[in-house]
Amino acid sequence: MVRFVLTMALLAAPFGLSEVALTEMAAELGTGLAPVGSTLSLMGAGSVVGGLLYGAIRWRATPARRFRLLALGLGAGMSAAALAPDFTTVQLLFALTGLCVAPLAGLSFEILDRLALPSAWMRTQSWGSVANTAGHAGGLTLGGALATTLGADGVLLFAGACVLAALCTAGPAFA
């Protein structure tokens, strides 16, 4: 279970990293901050749609398989944004990436519940929440440190690398 809590932190880090990357991108492109807010809002809207769709489907795939697919979608979307020629393309990619966010968050807590003893559910839910907060804060901190050397594109690619690290860390939890 400890490995999966670490997985959750690694999956939260890309959100902090992407916030820094988008802000750096706005500085690099000279667009001002308006596209940053709208891009994050579009990811949020995608998350709402993704959550509603995910909840409406009766899944045959195992939680482990769904987790891997959703995490790959999250990492691919953020990494692809590093190759985008402009903010409009980044906004489209973040809206599509958002489709994975709410389902992945809910599924992560479901998996955490499955790994925990019933008597420890409240504790493990707290650990999952702390992992999300710590991962996001860590992503913000690391993104700030990396942005000046790697630029926006490098930070977005690093966000994708965090998702890959999370998948590697999660592997044993699904055995």
The pLDDT of residue 160 is 96
The residue segments making up the domain with residue 107 are: 2-174
The pLDDT of residue 175 is 58
- The model's pLDDT over 59-102, given as tens digits with 9 standing for 90+, comes to 999 999 999 999 999 999 999 999 999 999 999 999 999 999 99
Mean pLDDT (whole number) for 16-32: 97
Asked if the model's pLDDT at residue 38 lies above 80, the reply is: yes
Q: If DSSP states are collapsed to H, E and C, what string results for the chain? A: CHHHHHHHHHHHHHHHHHHHHHHHHHHHHCCCCHHHHHHHHHHHHHHHHHHHHHHHCCCCCCHHHHHHHHHHHHHHHHHHHCCCCCHHHHHHHHHHHHHHHHHHHHHHHHHHHHHCCHHHHHHHHHHHHHHHHHHHHHHHHHHHHHHHHHHHHHHHHHHHHHHHHHHHHHHHHHC
CA–CA distance, 7 with 164 (Å, rounded to integer): 10
Residue among 23, 10, 31 nearest 147 (CA): 23
Residue among 13, 11, 24, 39 nearest 141 (CA): 13
Please give the angle made by the CA atoms of 80, 90 and 170, to the nearest 5 degrees.
45
Alpha carbon of residue 47 to chain centroid:
11
- How many folded domains does the chain comprise? 1
pTM of the model: 0.93
- The model's pLDDT over 119-175, given as tens digits with 9 standing for 90+, comes to 888 888 899 999 999 999 999 999 999 999 999 999 999 999 999 999 999 987 775
CATH classification of the domain holding 33: 1.20.1250.20
The pLDDT of residue 83 is 96
The pLDDT of residue 154 is 97
In terms of Cβ atoms closer than 10 Å to its own Cβ (0-12, 13-18, 19+), residue 164 is middle
Question: Which residue in the block uniquely carries the two structure tokens 């996001």?
Answer: 136
